[in-house]
Amino acid sequence: MGQILIEAFLKAGALGTDDIFIYNRTHAKARQLAARHPGIHIAPNNRTLVENSEIILICVKPLEYGNVLDDIQDVVQPEHLVISITSPVLIRDIEERIPAKVAKVVPSITNSVLCGAALVMFGSRLTSDDRKTLFRLFRHISRPIEINEAHVRVSSDLASCAPAFLCLLMQRFAESASDVAGIPRETAVSLVNEMILGVGKLLTEGGFSLESLQERVAVPGGVTRDGLNVLDQELGTVFQQLFHMTQHKHEKDLQHVQRMFYEHT
């Protein structure tokens, strides 16, 4: 996700390559990214990166946060803005380890094409100007939406995981059309792709809501209305099951991360 963010900021013109310092413990990955975008600086370690940065994005797996914070806690300053992009790492836990201003931003793969939401949560030390700076930066690549950190899991499901969920549903939709009616799968997939693009524009630019778009298309007694009835009956509690699973997984992840932070204290 760190690479996606860097390339999105560059594509949007929010940052220049000379503004960016990167560190990856797999040095080959850092070199590959810098080779694609000449001018990016490769830091030899996390400490050097922090010393040369004002805004620091930590883009590692949850259980790796303790090691990263151990690396930088002696060099990070109160004026630094540290951004976590990982749902189960709580802002308060990072604030207890370093003196910096801390925020959490959960991006989405949709940000790579400069659209979609970015979920924003602020720590206790950010000023009004800090918040504006953060929103201004992420507005280049997304629609930043402030949320309560308590809702980060379900919000991430809707904004960051949903592209995969939606693609699976649409894949099955296209495959079933081919299986039942004989349309070539490639044609079915192309039709579905164009439909998704059009629906997105109708919802974001065309003045429709999810409900009003259904009503516009589904005339009484028509095939769309009958199709909606089938979906309504057959979907049942599938989405409730999905959210129960993600909430349960989030609670387990929180416990693992809390244990990691305790062990590094």
Question: Could you tell me where the DSSP H helices lie in the chain?
Answer: 2-12, 27-36, 46-51, 65-72, 91-97, 128-139, 152-156, 162-181, 185-204, 210-217, 223-235, 238-264
Does 111 carry a binding-site annotation? no
Q: Give residue for tokens 């997984």.
A: 249
Taken in order 49, 55, 57, 58, is the CA torsion positive or negative?
Answer: positive
Single-letter amino acid, residue 245: M
| Residue among 8, 33, 13, 4 nearest 21 (CA) | 33
CA 183 distance to own-chain centroid? 35
The Cα 154–Cα 101 span in angstroms is 25
Annotated binding site for NADPH: 46
Annotated binding site: 46
